[in-house]
Structure 1
């Protein structure tokens, strides 16, 4: 099974830029690159910050764009989104409590999309209703389960970023505690930097994002840091024996060189490029 993860697309009005980059241009470039190189993907998951300012026009244009794609696209919301405005365009994304949460059947298990949005906050929130919904779904579903959400549940070690992580990470942990064996991986966004690790024993990862890039400034005390690193999306390869996650830097403009054969017998000074 192959899945694609895009995150932090930050769509704006046409021709508006963020950090000198056009979010719509880069989102389209990400889609074009992904569809050209991974036509066998089963679905695309976009893990939040769909709109930069939570505006109706951004969601309407997004709906039109993904409707034309040859594979399904599933959406989480992030801190830059507005839940009510988003649901005005995507009403089918709401669970019974009005949160943007759903279960997606896959060829190998199920994806579960979580809502970590909170009003007037860049931090992540996960209330009792959301936690109860997740625990109920996990009790019903066989494994494996793949969780998708926006906010990072584990501190990054970067002060300003950790102020806006998932503040209710303990509640998330309690909701999944009885079903940890079913959860194969957690995918998030939010930080604009590639991350990996584990949350209460469950592996997680995040790619950089399709537009502007962050930078891990561990000495930062007040402000987040940005950089000009390439735009990216994730490719998730799932087999019964394990999961591999790649970050594809589609925004890289440099040369791709052939280095040489992977076979040991061919490793000599005449054939290996150095």
Structure 2
């Protein structure tokens, strides 16, 4: 099974830039690169911060962009989004409690898309109602399950970033631990950093994002830190026994060299490119 994860696309009014980069252009480039190189993907998931300011025009433009793609696209919302505005454009993505949550059958198990949005905050929240919904969905399936969400449930060690992580992470973690035998991986965004680790025994990962990049500035106590690193997305390869996550830096403009054969017998000082 192959899945694609894009995150933090931060759509703006066309022509507006963030960090000197135009989010709409970069989103189109990301889609073009991903679907050209991975047309066999079973699904493409965008894990939040779909719009930079939660403007309805951004969601309308997003809906138009993804409507005709060859790979089905699934959406989570993030702190830069506005849930009510998003729902006005994507009403079919709301659960019975008004949250942007859903379940998707995959060739291997299921994907569950979570809503970690909270009003008037950049931090994430996963309240008792949402936790009960997730617990019920996990009770209903034999797995494996792949969870997609916006906010990071694990502290990064970067003080300003950790102020806006998932605030009720341990309560969320209690649900995760209860079902961890079923949950193969958690995919999130939000941090604009390539991250990996584990949470209550479940592996997680995050790509950098399709527009502006963060930087792990551990000495900064106040501000979030940005950089000019390459834009990227993730390619997820899953089997019955494994999950592999590739970080594809589609914004890289340099040379890609083919350095030689992987066969040991063909390795020698004359033919290997160094």
TM-score computed with the length of structure 1 as normaliser: 0.99
Q: Find the counterpart in structure 2 of residue 243 from structure 1.
A: 243
The RMSD of aligned alpha carbons is 0.6
Q: Find the counterpart in structure 1 of residue 197 from structure 2.
A: 197
Q: Find the counterpart in structure 2 of residue 185 from structure 1.
A: 185
- Matching of residues 30-109 of structure 1 within 5 Å: 30-109=30-109
Spell out, residue by residue over 1:131-151, the C-alpha distance to the aligned partner (whole angstroms, 9 max, x if none): 000000000011100000000
Contact 1:138 1:176 in 2 (8 A): no
Contact 2:35 2:71 in 1 (8 A): no
The whole-number CA distance in structure 1 between the counterparts of 2:74 and 2:165 is: 22
Shift of 1:80: 0.2
Q: Find the counterpart in structure 1 of residue 7 from structure 2.
A: 7
SS at match of 2:181: helix
Shift of 1:179: 1.2
Contact 1:209 1:231 in 2 (8 A): yes
The whole-number CA distance in structure 1 between the counterparts of 2:236 and 2:227 is: 25
- Matching of residues 91-170 of structure 1 within 5 Å: 91-170=91-170
The whole-number CA distance in structure 1 between the counterparts of 2:265 and 2:71 is: 42
Spell out, residue by residue over 1:95-119, the C-alpha distance to the aligned partner (whole angstroms, 9 max, x if none): 0000000001100000000000001
Contact 2:260 2:273 in 1 (8 A): yes
Count of residues paired in the alignment: 274
SS at match of 1:221: coil
The whole-number CA distance in structure 2 between the counterparts of 1:117 and 1:178 is: 23
Shift of 1:171: 1.5
SS at match of 2:244: strand
SS at match of 1:32: helix
SS at match of 1:125: coil
Shift of 1:183: 0.1
The whole-number CA distance in structure 1 between the counterparts of 2:265 and 2:217 is: 43
Contact 1:47 1:150 in 2 (8 A): yes
The whole-number CA distance in structure 2 between the counterparts of 1:241 and 1:152 is: 25
List runs of 5+ in structure 2 lacking aligned partners.
none
Shift of 1:176: 2.5
Spell out, residue by residue over 1:244-271, the C-alpha distance to the aligned partner (whole angstroms, 9 max, x if none): 0000000001111111111111111111
Shift of 1:178: 2.1
The whole-number CA distance in structure 1 between the counterparts of 2:46 and 2:236 is: 13
Shift of 1:175: 2.0
Spell out, residue by residue over 1:52-95, the C-alpha distance to the aligned partner (whole angstroms, 9 max, x if none): 00010000000011001011100000000000000000001100
SS at match of 2:34: helix
List runs of 5+ in structure 1 lacking aligned partners.
none
